[in-house]
Structure 1
């Protein structure tokens, strides 16, 4: 057993962490030191869900006689009340005596109530949390405990599922924009996932009970926090400032801080809300925030733009947006006036309804007049989704220039070359691929929540490949028979540019006759991304190795089966079984492989690591442009 203590000044509470205690150690046999006496309110205490323990001081608080122990702790220790009552605490429970004696003695002597928070850990996970108040009444000292257990999540309802979906979307937006917020009510905090991205650590059960941002404020900025605590009042219910924190990893971050409090008619604070935005600047990096990195994945595409919080003043748009509307980013002023450039009245009305909260989403094909000029128009698809998480409204979507695509669609329909391919199918894929990114991000946040840089590294190749797919999609007239070699060559170039410092050569041998549908090429390229990223990270630990090569070959096995061989000349895998059974990346690869009805296996090579993926050239999939 190991015990740690920490006093949290802001919350005026002492935290006690107890690691790996055995409940059999809670109590042991000891003789009674006095005859039983009736405890006040004993019958009432039996009907109170909170544990109430009663102690009588001995020798001015050097020890305490146990008069009563709550039902919860008795059940945990698997004992009866008569086994512990009227025994000395030091003899009957050395465990609780060591933990509580100083606090019991202090309350007995001063008469002032004291608050504790006790965490019981099994290994590194919190098993039980107890919120404790110690108070004196007459000659007796009372210990009131409220226990909370960690449990497996039960099956959830459709309403709860929707709530979780909105939470995931809000988390994605916060991740993009490097923001996070909290809501405090009744002395408990509710923190959004974006906060943990800012402070670079995962969530802990005790986070509900103290301000995890203020706890990290550097000493030089502590006066700002004290100023905040003294400033908030019914007359001054908002606060804005820049504070600096030191993350658990030792990184200094600058946070733009906005706080708002609510007070009752007596001037007592009811609740308050806090928003933090990481505005740290790193002059040694081109991209300092995840939003810059993620948006940059779309920036080389002038036809597709990602819209983060388009209904808010805190919007973040990719470069494609400014290229579509033909206004330089430095000159753009975000306001509702931009809606006036949309030609269709119904689309304008629906967007206003979205802004006013009357609609949850818009998905419109619009005619956009560049700078209001009806002689210079673009056909665009606009998708924006509005949702609520906590007490805040968020929005996310994308704007796509489909002018050329619509013209090609018209030509396709007129020539009857492929009457079932409609442009909405293209954008349906775009939306699905954004959902794929979201799923990958959620998976890796759960697996690597304490290492956000690893998540960013893994997402970079995926973003580049999907952006490449989208860009080439708008320049093709055939979405079923796509030349695979063209895509692989472009993918190699993209990966080579991303990892130029690694000095790795990409070599590909692709059969020029292989033509695949977009439904197969998309997961295939993502599989190649995952295998390539794995090789880049693990195959070449010796940076001085010469001729580092990642080689892939794709050819026909028969007229309907294709085969991908991907291998490197690195150090190889010592334990392939561990890779298959305990690796998130492998789970992602297997999921993508199943999407194309494929089969993947690890090759037995003398040098390096290799994989073989076989998959059908075609499988049953019916396009439906009316979805």
Structure 2
């Protein structure tokens, strides 16, 4: 659309227009402005044209970065809120099952917070702020638990490298923590040698997580679908956060669980 002006009616205007250049094969941003100079006898007007495409593109990039920053801040607030809710829920469960045993509660809570902090550290160290590698997550979590204090129990990994969203990575790592701590505390006698296994991969477009040990197993009559102990109550709750399903692995010795959840990143 062409706008016409009578020069004697206007002394100055400015406008940015888009121009599809036949030479550069791209849309340019042109800054047009008119200036008028006059003296006692003459009036001269100039129309100036300046290519501001680079400045326009940089401005748009800054707008995108600013919007990304706002989204990131909201995401951080969302994650902090979710993590605090998880910790609060776990503390409430601990108090229900171990009311008065505050040292036990604090030690368990410390381990869980440490596991969650490990996930956030991986995100901080990575260029991807939205995902965590399942293999690295598993390695770091278990290396902390099966350290020098529990060197009699060896952990074995068959874990594929897949990206987990933060919403999946937190319950995933906490499940590892709960089952590993159960094995360390209950599956083996003091200083008895044993093994803890983790297998993880994608099968038929679903994540499958198998975790088992070769310890004493569960007490006879234990129903992990309707848990009466705190450990499995927590594990069941965490599996629900994955929107997953689970079953006990058929083992001749020890205890194991298979967890299946959707492959969504």
Instruction: Tell me the TM-score normalized by structure 1.
Output: 0.30
- 2:101 pairs, out of 435, 438, 451, with 451
Superposed displacement of residue 583, structure 1: 1.2
**Structure 1 residue 615 corresponds to structure 2 residue 264:** no
Superposed displacement of residue 430, structure 1: 2.0
The 1:501/1:431 distance shift into structure 2, 3 A limit, reads: same
Confirm or deny: 8 A CA contact 1:412 1:419 kept in the other structure. Answer: no
**SS at structure 1 position matched to 2:243:** coil
**SS at structure 2 position matched to 1:521:** helix
The 1:538/1:428 distance shift into structure 2, 3 A limit, reads: same
- 1:528 pairs, out of 176, 183, 191, with 176
- The CA deviation string for residues 525-568 of structure 1, in whole angstroms up to 9 with x for no partner, is 11111111111111002x2433x111101011123x01011011
CA distance in 1, matches of 2:69, 2:210: 36
Q: Give the equivalent residue in structure 1 for 2:160.
A: 511
- The CA deviation string for residues 162-182 of structure 1, in whole angstroms up to 9 with x for no partner, is xxxxxxxxxxxxxxxxxxxxx
**SS at structure 2 position matched to 1:581:** coil
- The CA deviation string for residues 406-452 of structure 1, in whole angstroms up to 9 with x for no partner, is xxxx9994499x78851331232123212211221122112101322
**SS at structure 2 position matched to 1:604:** coil
- 1:573 pairs, out of 201, 205, 218, with 218
The 1:501/1:600 distance shift into structure 2, 3 A limit, reads: same
Superposed displacement of residue 618, structure 1: 1.1
Confirm or deny: 8 A CA contact 1:465 1:491 kept in the other structure. Answer: yes
**Structure 1 residue 538 corresponds to structure 2 residue 186:** yes
- 1:563 pairs, out of 199, 205, 208, with 208
Question: Which structure is higher in helix share?
Answer: 2
The 1:502/1:425 distance shift into structure 2, 3 A limit, reads: same
CA distance in 2, matches of 1:411, 1:603: 53
CA distance in 1, matches of 2:221, 2:83: 30
Confirm or deny: 8 A CA contact 1:445 1:455 kept in the other structure. Answer: yes
The 1:461/1:429 distance shift into structure 2, 3 A limit, reads: same
**SS at structure 2 position matched to 1:608:** coil
Q: Give the equivalent residue in structure 1 for 2:232.
A: 586
The 1:435/1:481 distance shift into structure 2, 3 A limit, reads: closer
Q: Give the equivalent residue in structure 2 for 1:387.
A: none
**SS at structure 2 position matched to 1:422:** helix
**Structure 1 residue 427 corresponds to structure 2 residue 72:** no
**Structure 1 residue 462 corresponds to structure 2 residue 118:** no
Q: Give the equivalent residue in structure 1 for 2:40.
A: none
Confirm or deny: 8 A CA contact 1:464 1:494 kept in the other structure. Answer: no
Kindly report which structure 2 residues correspond to 1:112-511, keeping only aligned pairs within 5 A, or say none. Answer: 413-414=64-65, 421-497=71-147, 500-501=149-150, 503-511=152-160
**SS at structure 2 position matched to 1:432:** helix
**SS at structure 2 position matched to 1:530:** helix
CA distance in 1, matches of 2:63, 2:241: 28
Superposed displacement of residue 454, structure 1: 2.3
CA distance in 1, matches of 2:71, 2:253: 46
CA distance in 1, matches of 2:210, 2:168: 17
CA distance in 1, matches of 2:66, 2:212: 44
Confirm or deny: 8 A CA contact 1:527 1:589 kept in the other structure. Answer: yes
Structure scoring higher RCO (CA < 8 A, sep ≥ 6) equals 2
The 1:419/1:577 distance shift into structure 2, 3 A limit, reads: same
CA distance in 1, matches of 2:70, 2:238: 26
Confirm or deny: 8 A CA contact 1:480 1:517 kept in the other structure. Answer: yes
The 1:544/1:447 distance shift into structure 2, 3 A limit, reads: closer
CA distance in 1, matches of 2:110, 2:72: 30
**SS at structure 2 position matched to 1:611:** strand
The 1:544/1:587 distance shift into structure 2, 3 A limit, reads: closer
CA distance in 2, matches of 1:501, 1:529: 14
The 1:421/1:557 distance shift into structure 2, 3 A limit, reads: farther
CA distance in 2, matches of 1:438, 1:432: 10
